[in-house]
Amino acid sequence: MTPDPRYGGPVPGRYWDRAVELISSSDEIALACHISPDGDALGSMLAVGLALRAAGKQVTASFGERRFTVPRLLRFLPGQDLLVEPGDYPAAPELMVTFDVPIVDRLGMLSGNAGKARELVVVDHHRSNTGFGTVNLVDPAAAATAVLAEDLIHRLGLPVDRAVATGLYAGLVTDTGSFRHSSTTPGVHAMAARLLATGLNPEEIARELWDRSPFGYLKVLGAVLDRVKLEPEVGGGLVWTFVTRADRAAYGLPYDEVEGIIDVVRRTDEADVAVILKEDDDGAWQVSTRSKGGVDVSRVCSALGGGGHTKAAGFTSHLPVEQTMAGLRALL
């Protein structure tokens, strides 16, 4: 099937048909999501994985990180037993399916496996998706990859039980910011209604995703907010801060625990753009950007080697904080 690098509309029916045909006729299916998985990436992947396993398929799922650990806040997701370390992943899968991955690089260590896969089905909703699959189920209008994952499960004729629904719901609430973003269409709420009808517990899911953390988080948050800077003259206003490895180490805080700080920083009325630079365990800086709409941060981050959505995007930097910020300011 010809890859379709830029997508203007919904996924063509023949792409869905081809994906269903490939999945239905395979006994072994290898699933992958992007590195540093969020609720949409891991939730969508495990949901589809559980549905396929229940249908008798042999399913392997992973994400390509050398230090392979599931972020603490996603460990409640059902289907963790589908996960294998990237080193144990099929080297050249007959059929590989990716979730929430816009560019091959975001597969990390599994990029090579994807390159050697005989068929590669890409399930994603990033506008920046490069169409790297042999079948690309990519719809930028979808609020989450979970929306496409649910569609895929239905088209495969598989049931959505409470466990499957939990993964899909985690994806939906993560990417819509708990039904706050403009992507929250009537269709999104209709999907939420279908998922809730399976008996899942929305309170428990919200608490696991956003409303708990170790005590050290409060101390790190305090330090990170203390050094926040507001630059009203940059773009429509820029607010930014950073969190180092040392900040986290002082309280034994793993990297994924600081992922939510951007949601505090972006509150700032005086800034259109919010940025946080997070030093990971390898010393690289993972930069998260958010916009209220004045700036397309996906374009800015793409120019810096990353990507994402208009209002939420990111990139990786190996430069010191000030140099990274200088590069960002120039683009804003």
Query: In this chain, which stretch among 116-124, 158-166, 194-202, 313-321 interacts with ligand AMP, using CB under 6 A?
Result: 313-321
- Interaction between residue 49 and ligand AMP (CB under 6 A): no
3 state DSSP class of 161: coil
Binding test (CB under 6 A) with ligand AMP, winner from 127, 248, 309, 311: 309
Residues in the chain: 332
Q: How many residues bind ligand AMP (CB under 6 A)?
A: 11
41 binds, among Mn ion, ligand AMP, none (CB under 5 to 8 A by kind): Mn ion
Footprint on residues 83-112 left by ligand AMP (CB under 6 A): 106
316 binds, among ligand AMP, Mn ion, none (CB under 5 to 8 A by kind): ligand AMP
- Interaction between residue 127 and ligand AMP (CB under 6 A): no
Using the minimum distance from each CB to ligand AMP, give the nearer residue, 199 or 305.
Answer: 305
Q: Name the strand (E) or helix (H) holding 95.
A: strand 95-99
- Residue number, nearest CB to ligand AMP: 314
Task: Name the DSSP class of 240.
Answer: E
Outline where the chain has alpha helix (H): 13-24, 39-54, 111-116, 145-155, 162-175, 186-196, 202-210, 216-226, 245-249, 262-265, 297-303, 321-331
At residue 258, what are phi and psi to the nearest 5 degrees?
-95, 5
**CA 91 – CA 51 distance, rounded (Å):** 23
Using the minimum distance from each CB to ligand AMP, give the nearer residue, 29 or 238.
Answer: 238
* Burial of 278: CB neighbours in 10 Å, binned 0-12, 13-18, 19+: buried
- Interaction between residue 313 and ligand AMP (CB under 6 A): yes
- The footprint of ligand AMP (CB under 6 A) covers 106, 288, 306-309, 312-316
